[in-house]
Amino acid sequence: MRALVTGGAGFIGSNLADRLASDGHEVVVFDALARPGVERNLAWLQERHGARIVSVQADIRDAQAVADAGRKADVVFHMAAQVAVTTSLVQPVEDFEINVRGALNVIEAARPRNTPVIFASTNKVYGDLADVPLELVGDAYRPQDPDVRTRGISEQRPLDFHTPYGCSKGAADQYVLDYARSFGLPTCVLRMSCIYGPRQMGTEDQGWVAHFLIRALEGQPIVIYGDGRQVRDILDVGDAVQAYISAWRRIDQVSGRAFNLGGGPANAVSLLQLIAYIEEVTGRKVDGGFSEWRAGDQRYYVSDPSAARRELHLPEPRDWRSGVAALADWLAAERGRTAARKTAEAV
């Protein structure tokens, strides 16, 4: 089979492309290579899989390039996006063009051959969840409602777009779903919580689990926006990749549906709790400070992943402590390889 992965050199995209190529498929990696470091992910894929990886360096806003790349695809995984809330507030028009126009380019390219499209959406489509009553327990917020506390936020939650990023990803989410309704295009939407794992180039704006680890390994302070007690459910990228593969394999059963994808209540952790665990894993004290809450930030978001696990036949996810420890090891090794390369280049 031939799979098109837009944003295929990015964090989740490269892990997905690796899995697809390992399963014997040809993978078209469509990526503008605009994010620093992703060229290393592409080189890694090419080294591992050779001719099974077909690189197309192009912008998702280029409708003709998207159409050409998808012409012979048997499935499209649409991962390419502008991914930061902060960037969307500074450049809302560009955010719209990449996230909405880009998604429209993808589903229009898929429509002539009725090619399945699996779309990477976000929990930000539910807004800031300010109406969910919370209580403070130790160093983490938790819902007062025991049902929400036990199950998490389900797909029944009304959509409520906040920030240009929330609007653009939410609009794309709805376009992808509506193309199943209006045109019969087989599509599925996965509304992701926080995904972490190898090949993540975490920054302050996006990929906070890896960012915290990178700062700790480098002995640099961490800035926490808010009070650090905000809670997210985090999911290892291997589990996320399995969900995307399963959505493709079961597209006849799940077309036109959106699923919340995250670690669920068992993998919920506050920023302060994660930092404490990072100190334990790395053996280093983490310094830092606090700054103002950022626009649209949720004090509590934990997915109810029960529908995804049931309909996509997903296994229980990896425990977050095991996954974060593995990511710390990978990042430390990657930093050693980078340092070695720089030393060799200097010599």
Q: What are phi and psi of 4, to 5 degrees?
A: -105, 125
In the DSSP assignment, the letter for residue 84 is: -
Q: How far apart are CA 299 and CA 129, in angstroms?
A: 8
Catalytic site includes residue 165 = yes
Place of tokens 């989740």: 12
Q: Could you tell me which residues are beta bridge partners of residue 153? A: 303
| 288-291 vs 117-122, strand pairing mode | unpaired
- Is residue 339 within 8 A of residue 299, CB to CB? The reply is no
- The 3-state DSSP class for residue 232 equals strand
**Token pair listed for 51:** 């001719």
Residue type, 25: H
Residue 179: φ, ψ to 5°: -65, -25
Catalytic residue chosen out of the listed positions 126, 141, 165, 196 = 165
| Inter-residue contact 176 to 117 (CB < 8 Å) | yes
Cβ atoms of 193 and 302 within 8 Å: the answer is yes
Contacts of 95 (CB under 8 A, 6+ apart): 82, 87, 88, 164, 165, 168
DSSP, collapsed to helix, strand or coil, labels residue 108 as: helix
Active site residues: 165
